[in-house]
Structure 1
Amino acid sequence: MRNISSKSFLSLRHIVGCCKVSCITLSHWGITTSFRRFGQPASQTHPHLIAEGEVTPGITRAEYHQRRCKLVQAAVKTFRGVKSVKDHLFIFPSSTTSYMTNDIPYPFRQNTDFLYFSGFLEPDSLLLIEANHKSVDGAHVSHLFVPRRDPSRELWDGPRSGTDGAIKLTGVDASFTTGELGKYLQYYNHQHKDYVLWYNHGRPVHADFHHRILEQVMKDQKHKCVENPTMNCHKLRALKSPAEVQLMQRSADIASEAFMETMKFSRPMVNEAHLWAKMDFECRIRGAEFLAYPPVVAGGTRANIIHYITNNQVIVDGDLVLMDAGCELHGYASDLTRTWPVSGKFTKPQKELYNATLRVQEACIKLCTNQYSLDELFHEMLLLLAEELTHLGIIAAESSPEEKLQLARKFCPHHVGHYLGMDVHDTSTMSRKAKLKPNMVITIEPGIYIREDDFTVSPEYRGIGIRVEDNILITDSAPLNLSASCPKEIEEIEGIMAARA
């Protein structure tokens, strides 16, 4: 590859080489040991979490490198035959720290595109990937720009990896401080022309980098064009590697075990907030970093509010509780929904609606193959719901097929599912019209929601809201339910409730 500019730029820096390694020296019975401190877990400091050669738990340096290679290959393929394009420059900023007030930060969560290609977990960083138009094999040079070591800030916020630590952790080709980003991009512009700048300027992830540095790069017009890399990123992220599948399986297992414990914790007059806290505790104690999203914990008729997250009411005897929750484990999310009777026993109308929902869900799961798209599964879900609701008399048998579909959509106003991965509603640029592919993970989550003031429905069904959701891995053969260990048959749920202490 021509113009490996990081090597040239290194020679122009006022301080050549990496920052000094920061070590803590421990003395125990006259033995001196030094170990490197990083801004994130590493095999040297967290051997219980990360194996040698991994950047984040379960994901190796080699896999992160291969992801970058695939990104470059996709870009080169896009511009194949465009002779005026000479190079490609990819820019992925990290998230920044958000503050609830003054110096009190919200819990930090890394930008998932940046994380997917680097594995670096510190805020206010940036990944830069260089390649040329001949990189059909994905050859590239990767750089991380990271916050400089600052003892005064590290006293308050914890250690930073620094430039040397970033290389040791991730295996990128070079690392600089973020203060050098502007100079580096100026140098790149001086050395290159007619390159494609891959940067999502329409939705900037890091406002400070964007307004202070990256907007100016876009104005310099040395590039041939500016392209949004997000769609290419999402196409790669949608297909999970074996290591990613393992992490998602473990995330689903943790959420499943937590759901069972939360069911056992349920009692008439329990506060929704207490079930939320129980789910959060059970996920964290099993190794999850946090819940993947604010959960829905909806007792009784509040289950008919699809995204109810107030979670502050008391659940009375005889009501169902609908919980939509999942956890995030090492960057990968689970997303489950279960509905159960807080008293321990389903009533007859609750059973009828629940089993109808469950039959629809199981039928949809069987259709999770490369013959269907999410939109096609949604249509199948509506047909199946219409049939079940007609059988229960909730939809009039004499209704036309079109009317039945409209009414099915009234009683289930949301889609059948979504892509799942590093984000809960993952890879948002992926069309739901696209056929499913092996190694995708999706949710299947039909529901039946009947408002208590819907007088078109028999009184015994009014006020009931039910949803059942699982995480499904698409394979070359039958779909695999990653959350199959979470009970959802009525007999299983009532058995768990009966075993409460």
Structure 2
Amino acid sequence: MSEVITANDKEYEAQEMAQAPGADQPMEDRTNNRTLRPTTSKKFAEFMKTGWDNQEPEIEPLESSKFIPARLEALGKRFPGERIVIPAGTPKVRNNDDDYAFRPNTEFSYYTGLGQDYEAGAVLVLNPVDPESPEAKAGKTHTPELFVAPRADNSTEAYYVDAHYGEYWVGPRAGLKELNAMTGIATHDIAQLPDALGKDVGAEAGAVRMRVVRLADPEMTAEVENVREANGFPDPATNEKADDELQEFASTARMVKDSYEVGEIRKAVAATKDGFDRILTRLPEAVGKPRSERMLEGEFNAVSREEGNTVGYDTIIASGEHAPILHWMRNTGVVGHGEMLLIDAGIEVDSLYTADITRTFPVDGKFTPLQKKIYQAVLDSQQAGFEAAKPGATYSDIHHACMRVIAQKLHDWGILKVDVEESLSPQGQQHRRWLACGVAHHLGLDVHDCAQARYESYQGAKITPGMVFTIEPGLYFAKNDLLIPPEMRGIGVRIEDDVLMTENGPEWISKDIPKQIDDVEKWMAQRAAARK
């Protein structure tokens, strides 16, 4: 059917061309040719203001809001008299005018309780109270304020013009009153932020100093830096050092989880179990097919969106010779008969807390004697790490316990040619050829949580109740490793579980995800039968 161009169409196109900047205009000022939007005629603008029913988002306090005051109080006491700026960050470009799904900065989420994609561009500010005020005398150090874009609902022109915030484009979203109700934090229009940042800033006694979470939003960091430089803090290196101290404190503060955080991680682990179930159900029909690693990845990713926010990190589906590759995330391989299949995956729930689980499966449902030997060695290593983890122990204690088992096994098999004690010494470390990575890390809002803490606060610190961490030893026998027997080449095994430290010792949070040899085989058989 031919297309009929009317006189009105031609007039419309002429208006569009007249409004579009020419080729000599700067790139950032040019129009986007992806689509033709309505012209901004007065008639259209008036028409768009009428005939809409209000869409009020549900307003309920988040469960996390009960725990936010204690977190903010601890942060304020660490930096009395200073203004703390924590941006949520902005969407990151995937290509041209397409953004990745927005995920707020971890520190912003921790100190507001906001997850998902409510608040791109928002900024949390902790303002110091007057030291002579009744609040200060009662022990209060700061007043938190949240700065956000107001709702672009149908009463505004932005409703249909603004593709980022306009609710015609993105649907009803939380604005000032909604986010205030959700978080319990006083909430203001983002337009007021510049004045709020610069108020009373100075280097003289009694004036306010500022710190910012630097990496969350480069533009906000630059704005804070401009305010500091204009008010007596001209040295970027000194300012950056102050910001690093804020980042370090915020990272360390997350090491001990409150009951809400532990509950969210349990939800993430339970969802991750469902994801593994889905993978194992699909496994028999995927074997031998092109990109069957991705077929399995797709099953897990589907569960992550059904039961959570998304995956907590890029999923590793590594079969055969891919399994010894520590960060194999292309997932382009074929899952083959007789191989071992290593899956490292975790679901991030809506609060942004994630699980981190690794299981290694015999593709055909039964371990061969060789596979069983290697798998059991890793399982024994993990159990040794778990037994070393107790209140008062350190991450180094877990590490050394796991490594001793691995070194002994490698020596017993004739692969490690030196004495076990020599290999375990700082001057040796030969066993690390087959286990180069660490075997434990904190877990929470980030899969590798609290990573900006100092060494002495992390690896060298005592493990205390409330800490959540992984234990994940492995053995990685690369396909091209000529120092191991040929039959072992191309086999990789990792077993990773999530652990909560309690007053009575460690608890396997992920105990319901099978890992003992007989249990794994039974699990695989049950899931295979479920597809028939």
- Does 2:483 align with 1:483? no
Partner Cα distance (1:480, 1:144) in 2:
37
- Does 2:94 align with 1:100? yes
Residue equivalent to 1:418? 441
Partner Cα distance (1:414, 1:136) in 2:
48
Partner Cα distance (1:157, 1:66) in 2:
33
- Does 2:489 align with 1:462? yes
Residue equivalent to 2:325? 305
Partner Cα distance (2:449, 2:364) in 1:
35
**1:97 is aligned with what amino acid?**
P
- Does 2:307 align with 1:282? no
TM-aligned CA deviation for residue 346 of structure 1: 1.2
Residue equivalent to 1:66? 70
Partner Cα distance (2:480, 2:507) in 1:
39
- TM-score (norm. length: structure 1): 0.82
Partner Cα distance (1:366, 1:135) in 2:
47
Residue equivalent to 2:421? 401
Q: Is the 8 Å Cα contact of residues 412 and 446 (structure 1) preserved in structure 2?
A: yes
**1:401 is aligned with what amino acid?**
E
Q: Which runs of 5+ in 1 are unaligned?
A: 1-23, 27-33, 45-51, 77-86
- Does 2:103 align with 1:109? yes
Q: 1:320 to 1:373 in 2, by over 3 A?
A: same
Residue equivalent to 1:360? 381
- SS in structure 1 opposite 2:94? strand
Structure 1 range deviating more: 327-336 or 151-160: 151-160
Residue equivalent to 1:219? 229
Partner Cα distance (2:524, 2:198) in 1:
65
- Does 2:251 align with 1:230? no
TM-aligned CA deviation for residue 186 of structure 1: 2.8
Structure 1 range deviating more: 377-386 or 350-359: 377-386
**1:459 is aligned with what amino acid?**
P
Residue equivalent to 1:204? 215
Residue equivalent to 1:10? none
Partner Cα distance (2:521, 2:374) in 1:
16
1:122-137 equivalences under 5 Å are 122-132=119-129, 137=139
- Does 2:469 align with 1:452? no
1:151-300 equivalences under 5 Å are 151-152=159-160, 153=162, 154=166, 155-173=168-186, 175-189=187-201, 193-200=206-213, 203-211=214-222, 213-221=223-231, 226=239, 227-228=242-243, 229-267=246-284, 268-270=287-289, 271-285=292-306, 287-300=307-320
Q: Is the 8 Å Cα contact of residues 126 and 146 (structure 1) preserved in structure 2?
A: yes
TM-aligned CA deviation for residue 380 of structure 1: 2.1
Residue equivalent to 1:48? none
TM-aligned CA deviation for residue 124 of structure 1: 0.4
Residue equivalent to 1:16? none
Q: Is the 8 Å Cα contact of residues 335 and 469 (structure 1) preserved in structure 2?
A: yes
Q: 1:107 to 1:237 in 2, by over 3 A?
A: same
TM-aligned CA deviation for residue 165 of structure 1: 2.8
Structure 1 range deviating more: 177-186 or 294-303: 177-186
Q: 1:360 to 1:183 in 2, by over 3 A?
A: same
Residue equivalent to 1:320? 340
Q: 1:169 to 1:371 in 2, by over 3 A?
A: closer
Residue equivalent to 1:3? none
CA-atom RMSD in angstroms: 2.5
**2:230 is aligned with what amino acid?**
D
**1:144 is aligned with what amino acid?**
L
Q: Is the 8 Å Cα contact of residues 68 and 138 (structure 1) preserved in structure 2?
A: no
Percent of pairs with identical residues: 28
Partner Cα distance (1:209, 1:453) in 2:
48
**1:460 is aligned with what amino acid?**
E
Partner Cα distance (1:73, 1:180) in 2:
26
Larger radius of gyration: 2
**1:98 is aligned with what amino acid?**
K
- Does 2:401 align with 1:380? yes
TM-aligned CA deviation for residue 35 of structure 1: 6.6
Residue equivalent to 2:26? none
Partner Cα distance (2:212, 2:420) in 1:
50
TM-aligned CA deviation for residue 223 of structure 1: 6.7
Residue equivalent to 1:143? 145
TM-aligned CA deviation for residue 135 of structure 1: 7.0
Partner Cα distance (2:524, 2:383) in 1:
23
TM-aligned CA deviation for residue 419 of structure 1: 0.8
Partner Cα distance (1:283, 1:35) in 2:
28
Q: Which has the higher strand share?
A: 1
- SS in structure 1 opposite 2:505? coil
Q: Is the 8 Å Cα contact of residues 318 and 343 (structure 1) preserved in structure 2?
A: yes
Q: Which runs of 5+ in 2 are unaligned?
A: 1-50, 153-158
Partner Cα distance (1:25, 1:192) in 2:
54
- SS in structure 1 opposite 2:441? coil
Q: 1:160 to 1:260 in 2, by over 3 A?
A: closer
Write the deviation string for residues 305-348 of structure 1: whole angstroms up to 9, x where unpaired.
10000001111110011010001012101000000011111111
